[in-house]
Amino acid sequence: MNGAEGLIRSLLASGVDTCFTNPGTSEMHFVAALDRIEGMRCVLALFEGVVTGAADGYGRMKDRPASTLLHLGPGLANGLANLHNARRAYTPIVNVVGEHATWHQRYDPPLASPIEQIARSNSCWVKTTASPQTVGEDAAAAVAASMEAPGGSATLVLPADVAWTEGGSVAAKRPVPPRRKVDEARVRAAADALRKGRAALVLNGPMLRAGPLELCGRIAAATGAELLCPTQMNRAERGAGRVAIDRIPYVVEMAQKRLANLRALVLVNSRQPVNFFAYPEKPSLPMTKDCEVLALAELEEDGVDAAERLADLLGARKSEPKREPLSRPALPTGATTLPGLAAVIAALMPEQCIVSDESITSGRGLVAATKNAPPHDWLVNPGGSIGFAMPVAIGAAVACPDRKVLCLQSDGAGMYTVQALWTMARESLDIVTLVFANRAYEILKGELKSVGAGEPGRRARDMLEIGRPDLDWVALAKGQGVPGSRAGDLDELARQLGAALREKGPRLIEVRL
């Protein structure tokens, strides 16, 4: 057994059975070993940003890591933007990055680059494995590190000679340290803050799953506290029957208005709300200056346990939470408008679907419009590096093959990882991608004004508009083997989306805005 085989067998022993790949020469022994080992599903992508985004989507849905397989420093670099997003989502991922053979590195061959340095920018754990004898333990350590709360990318660098040399070892799964319990003072402080009124629980991470959310709903019902999640939520279990929670808006003025009345924010596995960007004469934080911010549970702490103790202290265990009722809008007709678009989606989205949302300006009303749809999962990009939704949809579809994935993709962002469509086709993934084609980085037009740069002239507009030529998304899908269609109005959209949702397999619908 060589080092590559030891690595794969150790990943399997630690529960990692899915690998998103874009390999090169230095990873060939890993690839060759796949033929000798049962149980590792490998999914090829044509660009590394798809690989890492898919691993993000997978890890969010499974709560355990997929592996990536990346080619040296440049391959890792190409995957770095979606690893940035995954870092902000605290998604467990194990990156395997090939490296030149140890004795070849001194010659600084063409593809050499500082892999560990590049990896550290977005990993919680980085190690170059030294020998086939250590590769098993290193793999087990990487898996455990990726899952240690709050979760993150663990990057294992694998020199080619370690991969091909005999003596590979297989290690058993390592235990993941449990989340730390918070001390009683924090539970009491949170209870005091909630009792004073005009307070909100701000939830993220594991607290946005249905069970913990219900618990927090009981606390809210007992105390009058509001339930909020940050703009940058990771994954929310929501929809009809789930407890109602409000997402803090992206636009600063709207966020300020939403939080204006609050005197305390009690964070549970959430960072404090922060504006995405700075603007002249505007504060960095959306809450008022006299709003107290306290953490019931930090990101890595046991928020569920803390909330249970808080509920007990407040006598809230039996309070009835406010649940979202089931309510579908009627199918709208006529010309495409953003509210109409949101209504079509809310009317048709199937129960237990997974939404990968990078709709940006086209989707500002979507979260509100779908809260009464049948129960579903909603995945958001908490890192803000665009090119997120289609890769994440791949990972979600691989993780949950029995659930429909609805990918809401703005056109500008979609182009960063457009290669994702090919992997959807190759793997026959059950993903319906709606591309919102407004032919602009529309959000930047607003941002240009928000940062005080005034109205764009012709040259500035040229940098913000991506028409001339218009992208033809149906052709881009066809070029990669995904059946596509174009919806010119809401009637066409409803018909095409309805048909796509009834079938299995990848579909793309370009929604002309």
Position among 235, 473, 507, 509 found at the interface with a copy of itself (CB under 8 A): 473
Tell the smallest beta-carbon distance from residue 100 to a copy of itself (Å): 6
Of 77-85, 352-360, 389-397, 489-497, which segment contacts a copy of itself by CB under 8 A? 77-85
Q: Site residues for a copy of itself, window 183-242 (CB under 8 A)? A: 232
- 504 part of the interface to a copy of itself, by CB under 8 A: no
Let me know if 103 is exposed, middle or buried by CB neighbors in 10 A (0-12, 13-18, 19+): exposed
Tell me the site size for a copy of itself, rule CB under 8 A: 100
Q: Site residues for a copy of itself, window 253-292 (CB under 8 A)? A: 271, 274-278, 280, 284-285
**Are 54 and 102 spatial neighbours (Cβ–Cβ below 8 Å)?**
no
- 251 part of the interface to a copy of itself, by CB under 8 A: no
Owner of token pair 């391959």: 75
Q: Site residues for a copy of itself, window 165-194 (CB under 8 A)? A: none
Binding mask 92-131 for a copy of itself (x = CB under 8 A): --------xx-xx-xxxxxx-xx--xx-xxx---------
**Are 44 and 50 spatial neighbours (Cβ–Cβ below 8 Å)?**
no
- 47 part of the interface to a copy of itself, by CB under 8 A: yes
* 128-to-27, 101, 192, 221 alpha-carbon distances in Å: 14, 12, 48, 51
Tell the smallest beta-carbon distance from residue 490 to a copy of itself (Å): 24
**Are 309 and 187 spatial neighbours (Cβ–Cβ below 8 Å)?**
yes
Q: If we measure between CA atoms, which residue out of 255, 257, 288, 285 comes closest to residue 272?
A: 285
Tell the smallest beta-carbon distance from residue 384 to a copy of itself (Å): 4
When the beta carbons of 58 and 422 are compared against a copy of itself, the nearer one is: 422
Which letter, b or e, does each residue of 359-374 get, where b requires 16 or more Cβ atoms within 10 Å of its Cβ? bbbbbbbbbebbbbbe
When the beta carbons of 172 and 254 are compared against a copy of itself, the nearer one is: 254
**Are 369 and 329 spatial neighbours (Cβ–Cβ below 8 Å)?**
yes
How do the residues of the chain divide into helix, strand and coil, expressed in percent and rounded to 5? 45, 20, 40
Tell the smallest beta-carbon distance from residue 46 to a copy of itself (Å): 4
**Rounded to an integer, what distance in angstroms lies between the CA atom of residue 436 and that of residue 413?**
10
- 32 part of the interface to a copy of itself, by CB under 8 A: yes
Tell the smallest beta-carbon distance from residue 200 to a copy of itself (Å): 19
What is the C-alpha end-to-end distance of the chain, expressed in Å? 56
Of 293-301, 367-375, 402-410, 446-454, which segment contacts a copy of itself by CB under 8 A? 446-454
When the beta carbons of 20 and 239 are compared against a copy of itself, the nearer one is: 20
Tell the smallest beta-carbon distance from residue 198 to a copy of itself (Å): 23
